[in-house]
């Protein structure tokens, strides 16, 4: 059985989408004659945790841990709330305080590629013995944080190994880079390190075709697209909400703010008494102040339920019982290749997906091909409103059902099968 060393920052009990990709790969790799060995930080600073993920780690997985220095702990002396928000990726764009501006500048210009950079050198030294002890010939690094890839680069330079670099998100083209107040020198350093990794790894793995096209300009190394997916458990029936719930599961960061949707909902409430009596907007996860201000500004506060962070198991239950599932991405050219992991769980929940994102968003093609919902651009308020009214009328007659198709290809086991083939080396 082939052994692979998986180097990741996020691992249970970390919560959020970042942990799930490799947790699920690890779950199924043994089915394809690959034995995973894990390397994770000993004392990580996770912005959110979810104990339910711990139960999903397969028995007998060998795991190595090494301490990590986390500067977010020091930064929290000045403002624990603001530090936690930046660590979680929540960057407010309006009325930033001097402290917020300073923290962003420090994060962007002193911690390159990210605040976990101090784990790189100790890990390269520590893992040298692990490679020899476990007789490992293949390593996998997954980012963000992209500093994890620098561990892979350091090991590749010193040892005769195969290196697969997995990018769950882009690097220099990711949307929040514009908010980090990067200097020209810092921006160049990010580009240099990105180039170093993309040309140093033997193979690249990405989650979207857009990212593959971007990276193909930088490197000639093989690049494979393996999206995220869903992992069905025992299918316990969950009764649908009696009200017409539109639910968003996951973080709504400042840029994910579809004002056209909030306005369309406000108009439907004003124009349709039955809609007004039935409608509920459920937001599960961290919601930025900018988004809440926009939602409430449209008059939707009486109809909005803030559920806070929910466990993954609770999230799956909310997805199954909601009438409509909301999916939102930042409206920019840089985000058209971002495919949120929850879109695949939305599909498995078999509830209509309302997607709102940038022009050319890859999610739109996936949703269309699987007949799991509709996607729109931010400015298409009237089309959004028309679709919502159509779904609402179907809800009233208990016929709000979409017959999905071809979603089996996105099951985590099938995606792991694809990964196992990519891990075959000549």
Cα(320)–Cα(383) distance, integer angstroms: 25
SS3 375: strand
Q: Where are the beta strands (DSSP E) in 213-291?
A: 223-225, 244-249, 279-284
Backbone angles phi, psi at 160, to 5 degrees: -85, 90
Which alpha helices (H) appear in 135-206, and where do they start and end?
A: 147-158, 184-200
Cα(143)–Cα(166) distance, integer angstroms: 6
Output the pLDDT for position 233: 67
Pairing of the two strands 2-7 and 34-41: parallel
CB 201 within 8 Å of CB 165: yes
Q: What is the pLDDT along the chain (426 residues), one digit of tens a residue?
A: 899 999 999 999 998 888 999 999 999 999 999 999 999 999 998 888 888 899 999 999 999 999 999 875 554 444 444 444 444 444 455 556 676 677 776 777 788 999 899 999 999 999 999 999 999 999 999 999 999 999 999 999 999 999 999 999 999 887 655 666 778 898 899 999 999 999 999 999 999 999 999 999 999 999 999 999 999 765 678 899 999 999 999 889 888 999 999 999 999 999 999 999 999 999 999 899 999 999 999 999 999 999 998 888 899 999 999 999 999 999 988 889 999 889 999 999 999 999 999 999 999 999 999 999 999 999 999 999 999 999 999 999 999 988 878 899 999 999 999 999 999 987
Q: Where are the beta strands (DSSP E) in 179-256?
A: 203-206, 223-225, 244-249
Helices (H) and strands (E) counted in the chain, each on its own, are 16, 13
Cα(45)–Cα(69) distance, integer angstroms: 9
Output the pLDDT for position 84: 47
SS3 416: helix
CB 219 within 8 Å of CB 255: no
CB 28 within 8 Å of CB 164: no
CB 319 within 8 Å of CB 353: no
* Residue 308, beta-bridge partner list: 284
SS3 272: coil
Which DSSP symbol is given to 49? B
Cα(87)–Cα(175) distance, integer angstroms: 15
Output the pLDDT for position 17: 83
Among 78, 88, 212, 91, residue whose Cα is nearest residue 144: 88
Backbone angles phi, psi at 11, to 5 degrees: -155, 150
CB 356 within 8 Å of CB 378: yes
Output the pLDDT for position 403: 80
What is the maximum alpha-carbon separation in the chain?
70
Cα(401)–Cα(403) distance, integer angstroms: 7
Cα(145)–Cα(147) distance, integer angstroms: 5
Neighbours of 132 (CB within 10 A): 10
Cα(250)–Cα(309) distance, integer angstroms: 8
Which DSSP symbol is given to 377? E
264: enclosing H helix or E strand: helix 259-271
Cα(287)–Cα(172) distance, integer angstroms: 25
Neighbours of 356 (CB within 10 A): 23
Which alpha helices (H) appear in 30-110, and where do they start and end?
A: 71-75, 80-87, 98-110
Question: Cα-atom radius of gyration of the chain, to the nearest Å?
Answer: 22
């Amino acid at each position: 059985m082939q052994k692979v060393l998986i180097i990741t920052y996020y691992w249970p009990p970390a919560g959020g989408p970042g942990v799930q990709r490799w947790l699920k790969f690890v779950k199924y790799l043994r089915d394809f004659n690959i034995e995973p060995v894990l390397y994770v930080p000993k004392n990580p600073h996770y912005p959110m945790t979810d104990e339910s993920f711990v139960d999903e780690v397969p028995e007998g997985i060998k795991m190595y841990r090494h301490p990590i220095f986390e500067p977010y702990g020091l930064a929290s002396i000045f403002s624990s709330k603001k530090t936690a928000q930046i660590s979680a990726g929540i960057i407010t764009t309006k009325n930033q305080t001097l402290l917020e501006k300073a923290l962003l500048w420090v994060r962007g210009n002193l911690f390159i590629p990210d605040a976990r950079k101090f784990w790189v050198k100790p890990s390269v030294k520590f893992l040298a013995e692990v490679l020899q002890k476990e007789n490992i010939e293949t390593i996998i690094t997954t980012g963000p944080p992209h500093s994890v890839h620098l561990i892979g680069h350091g090991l590749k330079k010193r040892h005769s190994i195969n290196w697969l670099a997995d990018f769950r998100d882009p690097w220099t083209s990711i949307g929040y880079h514009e908010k980090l107040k990067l200097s020209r020198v810092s921006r160049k350093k990010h580009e240099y390190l990105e180039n170093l990794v993309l040309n140093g790894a033997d193979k690249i793995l990405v989650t979207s075709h857009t990212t593959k096209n971007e990276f193909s300009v930088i490197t000639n190394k093989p690049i494979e697209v393996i999206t995220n997916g869903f992992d069905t458990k025992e299918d316990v029936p969950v009764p649908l909400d009696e009200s017409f719930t539109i639910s968003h599961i996951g973080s709504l960061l400042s840029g994910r703010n579809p004002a056209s949707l909030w306005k369309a909902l406000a108009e439907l409430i004003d124009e349709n008494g039955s809609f007004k009596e039935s409608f509920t907007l459920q937001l599960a996860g961290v919601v930025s102040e900018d988004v809440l201000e926009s939602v409430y500004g449209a008059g939707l506060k009486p109809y909005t339920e803030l559920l806070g962070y929910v466990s993954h198991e609770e999230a799956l239950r909310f997805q199954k019982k909601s009438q409509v599932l909301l999916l939102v991405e930042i409206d920019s050219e840089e985000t058209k290749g971002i495919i949120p992991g929850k879109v695949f769980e939305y599909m498995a929940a078999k509830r209509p997906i309302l997607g709102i994102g940038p022009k050319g968003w890859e999610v739109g093609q996936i949703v269309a091909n699987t007949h799991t919902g509709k996607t729109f651009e931010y400015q298409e308020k009237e089309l959004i409103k028309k679709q919502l009214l159509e779904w609402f009328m179907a809800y009233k007659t208990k016929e709000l059902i979409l017959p999905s198709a071809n979603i089996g290809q996105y099951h985590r086991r099938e995606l792991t099968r694809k990964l196992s083939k990519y891990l075959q080396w000549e």
